[in-house]
Amino acid sequence: MDSLQNHLLIAMPSLDDTFFERSVIYLCEHDEKGAMGIMINQPIGIDVNELLKQMQLDEEPDSIVSLGSTVLVGGPVNPDRGFVLHTPQPNWNNSQALTDEVMLTTSRDVLTSLGTSAAPNNFIVALGYAGWSRDQLEQELADNTWLSTPATKELLFDISFDDRWQQATESLGFDIWQLSSQTGHA
């Protein structure tokens, strides 16, 4: 099995009317035990400033102006748990470097930095995550549920969440609407 860590899963058009319709998921982990990822293009409907106020953090951050200022649905698993995907920066509690360009942090300390000079340059705040048990993602890929492409900093942080699905599909080099959800059998 080749790991798809640091890849994007792109929902096939056949996933319409489902939780994952037109979703793009950044895979944080993928190994023989399963996979874990964060959806990066589905807004919850509140911005990061409002989330920080609801959390009643000790420090009051300045106003946040960024493409990442909207809280996203990270996935259906543990929707009350927060995750921050961000560009590398040392000294955060519970941070994991996923690549040289991306870290995942689950602690409140990174949230208190948002809107200040100590904040990561780029970030995505999401609630919940998407998870797959052993061999489940591989089966979904075989069933043509997802396409995958290597993640780029641009697709993660520089493109508005409204355009990420379309841009991710275009990065594959073909028109996704011309694909069939049907598979052939000889």
For residue range 115-156, list pLDDT tens digits in order: 788 889 899 999 999 999 999 999 999 999 999 999 999 999
User: Looking at the predicted structure, is the pLDDT value of residue 38 above 50?
Assistant: yes
* Count of structural domains, the chain: 1
Is residue 21 a part of any domain in this protein?
yes
Q: What domain range is 98 assigned to?
A: 7-178
65: pLDDT confidence band, cut at 50, 70 and 90? very low
Contacts of 34 (CB under 8 A, 6+ apart): 131, 132, 133, 134, 136, 137
Is residue 2 a part of any domain in this protein?
no
Mean model confidence pLDDT for the chain: 87
Is residue 35 a part of any domain in this protein?
yes
Is residue 39 a part of any domain in this protein?
yes
Top pLDDT among 62 and 38 is at 38
Is residue 1 a part of any domain in this protein?
no
Amino acid 119 reads: A
- What is the Cα–Cα distance from 89 to 130, expressed in whole angstroms? 24
- What is the Cα–Cα distance from 144 to 184, expressed in whole angstroms? 11
Is residue 186 a part of any domain in this protein?
no
Extract the tokens encoding 125: 């705040």
Is residue 151 a part of any domain in this protein?
yes
Is residue 139 a part of any domain in this protein?
yes
Comparing C-alpha atoms, which of 138, 127, 107 is closest to residue 35?
Answer: 138
How many Cα atoms within 13 Å fall on the side-chain side of residue 60?
Answer: 0
Amino acid 58 reads: D
Buried-state track 125-148, b at ≥16 Cβ within 10 A, e below 16: bbbbbbbbeeeebeebeeeebbbb
CB-CB neighbours of 117 under 10 Å = 6
pLDDT tens-digit readout, 8-22: 999 999 888 889 999
Lowest mean pLDDT among 67-71, 72-76, 114-118, 136-140: 67-71
Share of the chain above pLDDT 70, in %: 88
Which CATH number covers residue 129?
3.40.1740.10
pTM greater than 0.75 (yes/no): yes
108: pLDDT confidence band, cut at 50, 70 and 90? confident
Comparing C-alpha atoms, which of 27, 14, 19 is closest to residue 149?
Answer: 27
